[in-house]
């Protein structure tokens, strides 16, 4: 499987009309918005392009076996068998249950070699969400989406969540999972300043600020030993 390369052209410039909605420049949040998050929250120690950081593949796992089993259990509970799924910020490993078939699993991430090695992906695209939060997919394309151990690297998570609400069919779940590990130089300042409970509240705030989500749940699925595992799950609200 070959991955679709990054879209050409400068970020935030709408390209020619295609099957997807033209990219809109992302707007800074209005300070009067009830879920306003100040721009300083999204700064990072390393502001160099993410393409540089992720140029070399990392064939490692980012969570221990117990935490990954908890992620797989969540996917089993929330994602419909036979559905079309989007694995956002994907790598070479899949946490989908091995015994459940899916019609389609699209992966989006930063490293083509990692994505090509992922055994569950049926298609993949290299796409920098911090350059282009607009997703290269059509409205209502997916029955579920996942972000595992990665939400802390997004500098425009609200814009990305708004896009996810667009590409998921109404009622479809987004499962965001995380633990207490990260690449500190690439994680946003707000993440570094908060503990586990604060991370749950922050991700919930991303959903609320994005709008278009219902039934947002905050879950602690930490195994008895090893890495803790938390999740925020929302359902696309259909506009």
Ligand X SMILES: C[S@@+](CC[C@H](N)C(=O)[O-])C[C@H]1O[C@@H](n2cnc3c(N)ncnc32)[C@H](O)[C@@H]1O
Binding site for ligand X (CB under 6 A): 50, 54, 62, 89-91, 93, 109-111, 128-130, 148-150, 153
Which residue lies nearer to ligand X by CB, 35 or 61? 61
Which residue lies nearer to ligand X by CB, 111 or 204? 111
CB of 125 to ligand X, least distance (A): 10
Residue 226, Cβ density class (10 Å: 0-12 exposed, 13-18 middle, ≥19 buried):
middle
CB of 81 to ligand X, least distance (A): 21
Which residue lies nearer to ligand X by CB, 54 or 78? 54
Which residue lies nearer to ligand X by CB, 128 or 140? 128
Residue 221, Cβ density class (10 Å: 0-12 exposed, 13-18 middle, ≥19 buried):
middle
CB of 175 to ligand X, least distance (A): 11
CB of 15 to ligand X, least distance (A): 18
How many Cα atoms are found within 13 Å in the side-chain-facing hemisphere of 100? 21
């Amino acid at each position: 499987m070959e991955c679709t390369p990054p879209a050409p052209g400068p970020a935030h410039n709408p390209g020619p009309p295609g099957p997807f909605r033209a990219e809109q420049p992302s707007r800074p949040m209005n300070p009067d918005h009830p879920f306003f998050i100040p721009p300083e929250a999204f700064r990072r120690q390393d502001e160099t392009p993410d393409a540089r950081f992720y140029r070399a593949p990392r064939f490692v796992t980012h969570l221990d076996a117990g935490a990954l089993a908890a992620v797989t259990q969540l996917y089993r509970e929330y994602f419909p068998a036979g559905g079309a799924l989007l694995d956002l910020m994907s790598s070479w490993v899949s946490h989908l249950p091995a015994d459940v078939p899916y019609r389609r699993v699209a992966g989006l991430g930063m490293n083509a070699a990692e994505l090509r090695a992922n055994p569950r992906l049926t298609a993949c695209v290299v796409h920098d969400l911090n350059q282009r939060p607009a997703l290269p997919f059509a409205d209502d394309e997916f029955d579920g989406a996942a972000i595992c151990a990665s939400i802390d690297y997004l500098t425009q998570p609200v814009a990305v969540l708004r896009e996810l609400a667009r590409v998921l069919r109404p009622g479809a779940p987004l499962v965001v999972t995380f633990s207490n590990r990260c690449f500190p130089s690439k994680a946003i300042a707000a993440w570094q300043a908060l503990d586990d409970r604060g991370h749950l509240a922050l991700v919930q705030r991303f959903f609320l600020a994005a709008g278009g989500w219902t039934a947002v749940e905050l879950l602690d699925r930490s195994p008895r030993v090893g890495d803790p595992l938390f999740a925020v799950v929302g359902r696309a609200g259909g506009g």
